[in-house]
């Protein structure tokens, strides 16, 4: 006979003290009474009632609290579960673990025994000694009451045979690990929906519109919520920078820089050169601003010491964004360089190029060939710019889909 006592309580807490994977050796446990899932609803209900009568759900919650003392993502999840999961959820998770190893009849008998007055007093004292509940840690029992309490809180003899308790411990550990992963994944999905809302708002924002102030919906996990705050800040700051950059570039009217009438006069060329210089400075300012935003965000993520999956997802996205911005910056510089080369060419050929109607006429065929070559290079760089813009939009849409969009 195995009695429900502090030793069993300590063992139940200890079996969850490791967060490592279930090893192959755990599978070499005795064959259960019936394969999991093969039991009927009545059997499952009987086992659930037994667990509730034994108040094992309280022990499970205590487990969450104990593991919540760890200073890592797993500890955060445990603290969150301790506060938010219901007894019904705990019982629903625990019952299937026990079903294969105890019969419905035995489970009903155990439940009846544990609900007796004597057993309840004994269990209450055990829980109080473990600081799971408050109460008398050493209630008085007469000799006969002690004997009867021991009988009532004993598990069926068959329960201790064939290593069934070891099998239950193994299955419980696997259940707990799976549950904690699922629980975290739900919170992560919730967090990613917040990220999605910010990305959507950023994509929909038009020049001149005020930057939206979206309300954060904390998950309750510090590591996730710190990541959310960083994402919110960097997304909206980047969007504001993008719109400001686009508005400034549009205001420079770069499409007029190489207008034929400008290429045949010193004043026109000087005006276009000034525009290109201004645009080039704005490009460098924009690229530096985006780099500062990303470096600041990465610094905040690292300072948070969060090891969460959300952080890894965001950092991967930022790394991809950094690579994109390098290519985008190279393209913008290339465009400005080509604009400048055309202007330098036109300046060196003043008087040798004429404007007839809206077209340029070259006295020298070699000059015409050089001009057309530069324009072809400029066209190619412009096409690359369009491709980069399309890539950014497609990447954003793919990100939305991954986030549940």
SS3 88: helix
Residue 55 has pLDDT above 50, yes or no: yes
pLDDT at 299: 87
Tell the residue number behind the tokens 């509730």, with chain if given. 52
Q: How confident is the model at residue 1 (pLDDT cuts 50, 70, 90)?
A: very low
Q: What is the pLDDT of residues 365-400, one digit of tens each?
A: 999 999 999 999 999 999 999 999 888 888 877 777
Average pLDDT, the chain: 81
Q: Give dist(CA 334, CA 276) in Å, integer.
A: 12
CATH numeric code, 205-402: 1.20.120
Q: What is the pLDDT of residues 231-243, one digit of tens each?
A: 878 888 888 888 8
Tell the residue number behind the tokens 């705050």, with chain if given. 229
Which are the contacts of 68, defined by CB distance < 8 A and separation ≥ 6? 75, 76, 78, 79, 82
The domain limits of the chain are 2-184, 205-402
Q: What is the pLDDT of residues 298-307, one digit of tens each?
A: 888 877 766 5
Tell the residue number behind the tokens 């465009």, with chain if given. 335
Q: What is the pLDDT of residues 3-12, one digit of tens each?
A: 333 333 332 3
pLDDT at 2: 36
Sort strands 353-356 and 2-3 into parallel, antiparallel or unpaired: unpaired
Q: Give dist(CA 230, CA 294) in Å, integer.
A: 10
Greater confidence (31 vs 12) lies with 31
Q: How confident is the model at residue 28 (pLDDT cuts 50, 70, 90)?
A: very low
Residue 35 has pLDDT above 90, yes or no: no
- Reported pTM: 0.66
Phi/psi for 2 (5° steps) reads -115, 125
Residue 338 has pLDDT above 70, yes or no: yes
Q: What is the pLDDT of residues 277-300, one digit of tens each?
A: 999 999 999 999 999 999 998 888
With the CA atoms of 363, 367, 372 and 373 taken in that order, what torsion angle do they form, in degrees rounded to the nearest 10? 170
Integer angstrom CA distances of residue 114 from 110, 163, 220: 6, 23, 36
């Amino acid at each position: 006979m195995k009695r429900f006592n502090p030793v069993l309580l300590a063992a139940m807490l200890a079996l969850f003290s490791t967060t490592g994977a279930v090893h192959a050796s755990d599978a070499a446990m005795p064959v259960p009474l019936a394969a999991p899932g093969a039991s009927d609803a009545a059997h499952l209900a009987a086992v659930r009632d037994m667990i509730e009568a034994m108040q094992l759900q309280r022990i499970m919650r205590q487990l969450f609290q104990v593991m919540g003392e760890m200073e890592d993502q797993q500890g955060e999840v445990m603290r969150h579960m301790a506060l938010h999961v219901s007894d019904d959820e705990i019982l629903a998770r625990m019952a299937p673990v026990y079903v294969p190893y105890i019969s419905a009849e035995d489970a009903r008998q155990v439940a009846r025994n544990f609900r007796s007055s004597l057993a309840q007093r004994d269990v209450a004292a055990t829980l109080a000694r473990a600081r799971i509940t408050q109460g008398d840690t050493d209630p008085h029992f007469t000799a006969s009451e002690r004997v009867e309490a021991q009988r009532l809180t004993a598990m069926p003899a068959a329960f201790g045979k064939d290593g069934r308790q070891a099998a239950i411990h193994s299955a419980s550990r696997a259940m707990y690990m799976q549950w904690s992963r699922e629980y975290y994944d739900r919170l992560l999905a919730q967090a990613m929906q917040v990220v999605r809302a910010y990305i959507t708002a950023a994509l929909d924002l038009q020049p001149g519109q005020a930057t939206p102030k979206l309300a954060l919906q904390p998950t309750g996990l510090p590591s996730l919520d710190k990541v959310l705050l960083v994402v919110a800040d960097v997304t909206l700051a980047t969007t504001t920078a993008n719109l400001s950059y686009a508005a400034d570039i549009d205001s420079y009217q770069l499409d007029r820089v190489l207008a034929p009438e400008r290429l045949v006069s010193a004043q026109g060329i000087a005006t276009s050169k000034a525009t290109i210089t201004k645009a080039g400075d704005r490009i460098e300012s924009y690229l530096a601003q985006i780099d500062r935003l990303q470096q600041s965000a990465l610094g905040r993520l690292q300072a948070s010491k969060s090891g969460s999956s959300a952080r890894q997802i965001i950092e991967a996205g930022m790394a991809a964004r950094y690579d994109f911005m390098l290519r985008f910056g190279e393209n913008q510089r290339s465009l400005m360089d080509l604009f400048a080369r055309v202007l330098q060419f036109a300046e060196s050929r003043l008087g040798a190029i004429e404007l007839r109607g809206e077209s340029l006429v070259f006295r020298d065929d070699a000059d015409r060939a050089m001009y057309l070559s530069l324009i072809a290079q400029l066209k190619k760089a412009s096409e690359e710019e369009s491709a980069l813009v399309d890539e950014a939009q497609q990447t954003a849409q793919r990100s939305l889909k991954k986030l549940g969009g």
